[in-house]
Amino acid sequence: MKQLKTKNNQNELQIPITIRIENYFSKEIFRKILDGVVIIFFIIIVIGPIFNIFSTILTNTSEIIYDIFIDPLIGNLKWQLILNALLNSFSIAAIAVIIDILISIPMSVIMTRYNFKGKKILDTILDLPMAVPTSSLGFSVMLFWMIFKIEPGYTLIILAHVIFTYPYILRNMKIVMEKTSTLYEDSARTLGASGITIFRTITLPLIKEGLIAGSILSFTRSLGETGATIIVAGLTQTAPVMIVGLRRQLELPTASFISGILILISLILLFSIKFFSRNLKFPIKKVFPKFEQFISSKSFKRVRDVFTISITIILILIPAFYIFTQINTSAISKELYGPDLKWAYLFISFMNSIKIGLLTVIVDLIFGIPLAFIIVRRKWGKFINLLDVILDVPIVIPSAALGFAIFMFWGPQQLNFLTPGFYMILFVHITFTFPYMVRPIIGVLKTWNSRVEEAAMTLGASKLTIFRKITLPNIKQGIIAGCIMVFTRSLGETGATMVVMGNVRTIPLLIVDWVEANSYNSAVFASIFTIIFSAILILFLKYITKEGKFKNA
């Protein structure tokens, strides 16, 4: 008996320590602990601040009513200003989305159904506004349209919002169209149906989910935009800009009230996506053969395509990158290396952005991978469906409102865990970027065949060993894509950061400061620098997500 125990001990000693550690921590109890920690983290980070905003509104109802509606000096003037700001935000978002849809529908057809030289380059350029800080885009847009005497105000806000919301609709439609089989389109074409008839009666109903999801995402993105809006707004005020102003004036109950309205509307829009995408039907019963054959003719089609590309270039691409024409080396050098040492502020701000971005990626990665496994692998019924929907909440909530919610939850007003500054910015960035980490990993996990894991398990491998040697190499494409998306989103955020920044500045905030101070040459250099940096990250993202770049291990 002693010999048998000695032999077993010797066999255990021969097993590498890494495998022994993985065997021990593969026990079911540790998996349950990990699941619990991740769920608690998700609830505290995402749900906690949002719940706290509505709790703040309820507990301060009398103060809010008095301050906004029945002030003895100004009456309901503040409510009129809030209502005007909300109407501006909603009307700007609606107009921007309508323009985006009109341009993106024919453009998505061009990008998915045509093959031409420079298609990949154009595809990358069209995606770039999603990664570039909106303060850079807003500054570029302002410089371009001022040539045509369009001054900062309502119209310029719309033109700026069209640019950074356009890629969200275009990308969603492209993804759905690329996954949609052309079999039905080809069959209808062989039966003599015109191109427009085919698109209206077949393609459009098939891609409606992408169109609706992209439209709602673009609407909420416009609704919450702050960085570009501050630069191009002039005297026009939107709800997110008002939240930032009220936060600076420490009118917290009023800011909570506006944030609550924006959050509530965003949540309604999020939860309506599935309902509308499943139940909305396009009016496609009637067909107008002669008219649709005419507008499907080769000559008309050529004119339509040229017009679409021209509008995209004039309305989206040129204003977005016009800032590159404003380079004045001597003037930039004079400003940056002047007595106020702007180059030092630029360096510090850039390093702040890099540090915050990298730390955000690390935290999102630690908790994002296990949450993706929970959503894909756990059989928890409706709870998983609810978790899957709630995951997208930080994406659709206006960033200024989300930033204010986090300020109220983690700051002196509630938990008193953080004060405005570096670490509160980090918490804000972790919250709104978290879905960008989890979604790509979920996508890879859902499409990957897990039979290899099952085979390894039957051969005696522990769950952690299987994860390290099999699963991780096979999902690394989604992980790297998520890391880059998180980093670029963190790098470009302005609104939420502005609410919790304290004395800390990131690159987008520095650009806003310099534009407001009329230090245009320094702002030009900082904007171009961030655009180039973001472009490199986007190119790398497209490279690593290209089919076949990573071979399964």
Q: What is the pLDDT of residues 357-399, one digit of tens each?
A: 999 999 999 999 999 999 998 988 889 988 888 888 888 888 8
Closest CA to 169 of 140, 207, 203: 207
List C-alpha distances in Å: 8 to 5, 12, 168: 5, 6, 59
List C-alpha distances in Å: 248 to 44, 177, 230, 241, 244: 25, 45, 14, 11, 6
Tokens of 22: 């993985």
List C-alpha distances in Å: 69 to 62, 84, 245, 504: 10, 14, 19, 35
Write down the pTM of the prediction. 0.85
What pLDDT, in 10s, does the model give residues 540-552?
777 766 644 444 3
What pLDDT, in 10s, does the model give residues 20-37?
787 888 888 998 999 999
Residue listed under structure tokens 């570096």: 422
Distance CA 102, CA 522 (A): 36
Closest CA to 302 of 110, 470, 461: 110
DSSP 322-348: GGGGG--HHHHHHHHTSTT-HHHHHHH
Residue 177 pLDDT greater than 50, yes or no: yes
496-522 burial, b at 16+ Cβ within 10 Å, e below that, comes to bbbbbbeebbbbbbbbbbbbeeebbbb
Q: Are 145 and 163 in contact (CB under 8 A)?
A: no
Q: Tell me if residue 392 falls in helix, strand or coil.
A: coil
Q: What share of the chain is helix, strand, coil (3-state, %, to 5)?
A: 80, 0, 20
Residue listed under structure tokens 């106020």: 340
What pLDDT, in 10s, does the model give residues 286-326?
666 666 676 667 787 888 888 999 999 999 999 999 999 99
Closest CA to 237 of 95, 133, 91: 91
**What residue type is assigned to position 157 of the chain?**
I
Q: Are 394 and 220 in contact (CB under 8 A)?
A: no
Residues with Cβ within 8 Å of 420's Cβ and at least 6 positions away in sequence, in order, are 407, 411, 500, 501, 502
What pLDDT, in 10s, does the model give residues 60-92?
888 899 889 888 888 888 999 999 999 999 999
Residue 553 pLDDT greater than 50, yes or no: no
- Kindly state the average pLDDT of the residues 91-104: 94
Q: Mean pLDDT lowest for which of 220-234, 414-428, 443-457?
A: 443-457
- pLDDT (0 to 100) of residue 551: 41
Q: What angle do CA 445, 450, 456 make, to 5 degrees?
A: 135
What pLDDT, in 10s, does the model give residues 183-216?
767 777 776 677 777 777 777 777 777 787 788 8
Q: Strand pairing partners for 71? A: 75
